[in-house]
Structure 1
Amino acid sequence: MESSFAFSSSKAMGSSSFFLFWSPLLFSLIFISPIAIMTVQAFTGTYGINYGRIADNIPPPESVVTLLKAAKIKNVRIYDADHSVLKAFKGSGLEIVVGLGNEYLKDISVNEERAMDWVKENVEPFLPGTQIRGIAVGNEVLGGSDQDLWEALLGAVKNVYNVIERLHLTDVIQISSPHSEAVFANSFPPSSCVFKENILPYMKPLLEFFSQTGSPFFINAYPFLAYKNDPEHIDLNYALFLPNPGIHDQKTNIHYDNMFDAQLDAAYVALEDAGYGKMEVIVSETGWASHGDEDEAGATVKNARTYNYNLRKRLALKKGTPFRPKMVVKAYVFALFNENLKPGPTSERNFGLFKADGSISYDIGFTGLIPSSAASSLLSVKDIQARGWFGPYSMVLISCASLLLQILIS
């Protein structure tokens, strides 16, 4: 995507039709405001993963469930609502946030029934067996190049929320919308961070709505991208959580020894400046590329391992940032697999903690589906059948067994 709800769990939802009937009624009696403050949390651990699937060579969803459970990663994000994934996750205990793609926003923003159609097709049928805990409406919309999407985002968010409310799912599913660093006018030092002026007319109403519904602010924070764009002026050790002089923010008198914390606090400062200082910030994406083009500074296996290993240790501390020490830091790492079909520079295809064959890209404490890409014989028969390898695999296995038998006999 470890998850708790103030009013009901997915198990409680499925246990009694009586409860399903009375829960929304009691909820409406307790809260008299037009929009009730949600207490549902889509992400209650500290370490999650983005399960991107722009690839034609990664393991099937059933194997991904095995991989995630072995790694004890419970919080998962996908960028759509793929039915094969949602079916595979049924009964797994994994908690998932699905994505409503940018291509749907304009239509859904002006038509609540289209939002209902989408939810009834892609969310409701899979509950409660598949623990869908959130819907991310759009991805990196504000700050992007399509201003029509800027105008559509709030309407789409409201209509999706209204549908969830009509279906009595507001105590189960959280609505959010991840942003990129492009929404900020500046982020260094953290105390100077503010939203871009041209984005504020769209951002503030969105923040107001999310403050009413209890949703956090999701930001995609990449020290890798900052370092790649300015390696001459950024200390690599500062970006990798390694010992370094750090930076001192004179306005807040805070010393930062890593860029990740500084990026989070910059977001908190921008929210405070906009009037939403109590809103929680969650990192919807962060990671480091293990390979890149010649002009992509820092994209190495060593650096990727260092960043992700130290990030995992940082999140395991379950502590806040220097500016918001009581807000426990939560982050979804990007990404589960290298994705061979992603467009753009080479780095885009090399963010995976795991390779396409299910082996680890580098060691940060996880175990892959197989020890290495060469040890494909350790894949389960189910995995092999799913990949369409059963015929060649059987021939290899039979040949090896025959050879071993001949050796033993001789």
Structure 2
Amino acid sequence: MALTRLLALVLGATLTFLLFRAEAGEMGVNYGQVANDLPDPAAVVQLLKDNGITMVRIYDAKQEVLRSLANTGIKVMVMVPNENLAEAARNPWYALQWVRDNVAAYLPATQINGVSVGNEVFKWRPDLNWQLVPAMTNVHSALVQLGLADSVKVSTPVAFDAVTDSFPPSKGRFQDNIAQSVMKPMLEFLQRTGSYLSMNMYPFFAYANQGPGGTISLDYALGNPNPGVRDPVTGLVYHSLLDAQLDATYYATEKLLGSSNAGGVDVHQTEGGWASGGRRGRSLEDRVGGEAASIANAQAYNNNLINRILSGNTGTPHRPNANMDAYIFSLFNENGKGAGPDDIEQHFGLFYPNMQKVYEFDFHSDGPPAASWCVANAAVGEERLQATLDYACGHGADCSSIQPGAVCFEPNTRLAHASYAVNSYYQNKGRASGTCDFSGAAFVVFQEPAEICDPNASWCVANAAVGEAWLQAALDWACGNGADCGPIQPGASCFEPNTRVAHASYAFNSYYQRNHRASGTCDFAGAASVVFKAPKIGNCVLPWRAWIKETTSMSNGSFAAI
């Protein structure tokens, strides 16, 4: 396969277009306070500033929080609680006074940019369905009277289960009991006032609740690169469950307003996130375990979302030019949610209550966290992959390792070579925002990908010269401190050869790879050393990345992602 070739002028012009980025959306967080161990609002505001978080949504309009946000530049959406909604609908004067007390009183020092009228009313307070649009109308009228309607928008967060027949997305429609009676007048209100439809969408719950034999893949739910799912009606291909949920909402909107009139209403994600722990929860009918709820998955989902929004990639297959802001749920792990510490609902936070991060993320617009990679998107086709590969190799990527005969030439496929090249380009550009896009020909991921060859691969093997007792002590330590020693248990794939040096090599290497081959992690006081050629011990081939495990006969070196 030819690795690079001269590009025609028209292709050069095309690639210049490919690197163009749309105006970025805004990323925020939901600052919930259903807990008894959270820091005070002043400390929380400093935490927001330190981490580049510029937009928050709160579930009330607490004076202490709004005053702490004054003169920070952080935008905030306040909320009329569900219990006040009926009065706001019945009494325009109540709505006016609420806006005076909870919005106007804090402007302009506190940048209030939105009012949520209720929260998931259809789901939790269906008795208030008929009051919802009148309450929104009265709150908006109050903002008009006070001269604030241009800068403060009114919406109401809707749980995604208000959309039925959500797959394929083109079949999406709102539930019959709310479609004509509430959703249509609400959408007309949003369109008339220049506001947006607020949706609370959780791909996590859709994935976790599907049960055994479900068809939703983890990569599709997380927004990682994947082959995609095709809508058989429209032919559109979806590479993330969030996009499918967004488009199901857009199609549902069009069924009420007509496709020619619905374009003026964007959908914003006012809640969404992924649990980092827990095993039970009312939202999961006590069915889900840690396989779905994990720190690695939460980090992947939320970082994928953050990077997507900040890079301006807010469109969907059906609405490629759509704008979207998004709020991650939630800022903290909240110990008052759910039914105890094992409840998944207590594990959606970006931070622990002590203000330590649950995992790495970055809201700054200058790029995602250091632990990120860029991979090519197979769905764009061979021609686009070749053009992207050529551009990356010609504009700063180091493509020497994918030349014929070089260490990363195999596998000799366009996808593998393109992934290597775009990742080299991305890393060499300091992982700056927009340097892994190529107009959809590449994605940023936050778990080390299988398809990118590492030209500096290395392994950790045991040193037989230190003796059996020393090897056993080091083997025990490695297995007790993070190494995956399952494959060297009796009957497992790498139990044979059943020697101490073979088992120690497997354990030492697992520890070394899981610690990202950091300096000092292959030493064990002289019991191990680093090698740069893949070692084969009997029929067992040592893995070379922390996320890889053995799946079939080790004699062929076959691996699969965990």
TM-score bracket relative to the smaller structure? 0.7 to 0.9
Contact 1:269/1:277 (CA < 8 Å) preserved in 2?
no
Superposition deviation, residue 344 in structure 1 = 4.6
Q: Distance in 2 between matches of 1:222 and 1:147?
A: 21
Task: Name the residue aligned to 1:7.
Answer: none
Render the CA deviation track for 1:195-220: whole Å, top value 9, x for unaligned: 11111111111111111101111111
Task: Name the residue aligned to 2:321.
Answer: 326
Superposition deviation, residue 165 in structure 1 = 1.0
Match of 1:296 among 285, 288, 299: 288
Match of 2:160 among 165, 171, 181: 181
Pair 1:263 & 2:245 matched:
yes
Render the CA deviation track for 1:68-121: whole Å, top value 9, x for unaligned: 112212111101001000000010111111011100011111101111221222
SS at match of 1:219: strand
Task: Name the residue aligned to 2:173.
Answer: 194
The 5-angstrom pairing of residues 94-105 of structure 1 reads 94-105=74-85
Contact 1:45/1:75 (CA < 8 Å) preserved in 2?
no
The 5-angstrom pairing of residues 183-332 of structure 1 reads 183-200=162-179, 201-231=181-211, 232-233=213-214, 234-275=216-257, 276-278=261-263, 279-294=265-280, 295-297=287-289, 298-319=292-313, 320-332=315-327
TM-score by length of 1: 0.76
Task: Tell me which structure has the larger Cα radius of gyration.
Answer: 2
SS at match of 2:99: helix
SS at match of 1:283: strand
Contact 2:159/2:199 (CA < 8 Å) preserved in 1?
yes
- Structure showing greater relative contact order (alpha-carbon pairs closer than 8 Å, 6 or more residues apart): 1
Give the % identical residues: 42
User: Relative to structure 1, is the Cα distance of residues 145 and 363 closer, same or farther in structure 2, using a 3 angstrom cutoff?
Assistant: closer
Contact 2:41/2:65 (CA < 8 Å) preserved in 1?
yes
Letter paired with 1:108: A
Task: Name the residue aligned to 2:112.
Answer: 132
Superposition deviation, residue 145 in structure 1 = 5.0
Superposition deviation, residue 317 in structure 1 = 2.3
Pair 1:113 & 2:108 matched:
no
Task: Name the residue aligned to 1:11.
Answer: none
Contact 2:53/2:363 (CA < 8 Å) preserved in 1?
no
User: Relative to structure 1, is the Cα distance of residues 365 and 145 closer, same or farther in structure 2, using a 3 angstrom cutoff?
Assistant: closer
Contact 1:54/1:339 (CA < 8 Å) preserved in 2?
yes
Render the CA deviation track for 1:98-157: whole Å, top value 9, x for unaligned: 011100011111101111221222222111111111111011112x25332101111111
Q: Distance in 2 between matches of 1:145 and 1:67?
A: 31
Contact 1:321/1:327 (CA < 8 Å) preserved in 2?
yes
Letter paired with 1:47: M
Match of 2:47 among 67, 92, 96: 67
Match of 1:357 among 354, 357, 379: 354
Q: Distance in 2 between matches of 1:243 and 1:344?
A: 35
Q: Distance in 2 between matches of 1:312 and 1:146?
A: 31
Q: Where has structure 1 moved over 4 Å in runs of 4 or more?
A: none
Task: Name the residue aligned to 2:421.
Answer: none
Match of 1:339 among 329, 334, 338: 334
Pair 1:150 & 2:129 matched:
yes
Render the CA deviation track for 1:205-252: whole Å, top value 9, x for unaligned: 111111110111111111001011104312111101223332101222
Q: Distance in 1 between matches of 2:247 and 2:311?
A: 17
RMSD (Å) for aligned C-alpha atoms: 1.6
Superposition deviation, residue 299 in structure 1 = 1.1
Render the CA deviation track for 1:244-271: whole Å, top value 9, x for unaligned: 3321012221111111111111111111
Letter paired with 1:336: L
Superposition deviation, residue 348 in structure 1 = 1.1
Q: Distance in 2 between matches of 1:180 and 1:147?
A: 12
Task: Name the residue aligned to 2:141.
Answer: 162
Letter paired with 2:352: K
Contact 2:163/2:175 (CA < 8 Å) preserved in 1?
yes
Letter paired with 2:239: D
Q: Distance in 1 between matches of 2:330 and 2:110?
A: 21
User: Relative to structure 1, is the Cα distance of residues 210 and 365 closer, same or farther in structure 2, using a 3 angstrom cutoff?
Assistant: closer
SS at match of 1:160: helix
Task: Name the residue aligned to 1:382.
Answer: none
Letter paired with 2:104: E
User: Relative to structure 1, is the Cα distance of residues 45 and 69 closer, same or farther in structure 2, using a 3 angstrom cutoff?
Assistant: farther
Letter paired with 1:83: Q
Q: Distance in 2 between matches of 1:272 and 1:141?
A: 22
Contact 2:45/2:69 (CA < 8 Å) preserved in 1?
yes
User: Relative to structure 1, is the Cα distance of residues 45 and 241 closer, same or farther in structure 2, using a 3 angstrom cutoff?
Assistant: closer
Task: Name the residue aligned to 2:37.
Answer: 57
Q: Distance in 1 between matches of 2:174 and 2:61?
A: 30
Structure 1 unaligned runs (5+)?
1-43, 368-410
How many matched pairs? 323
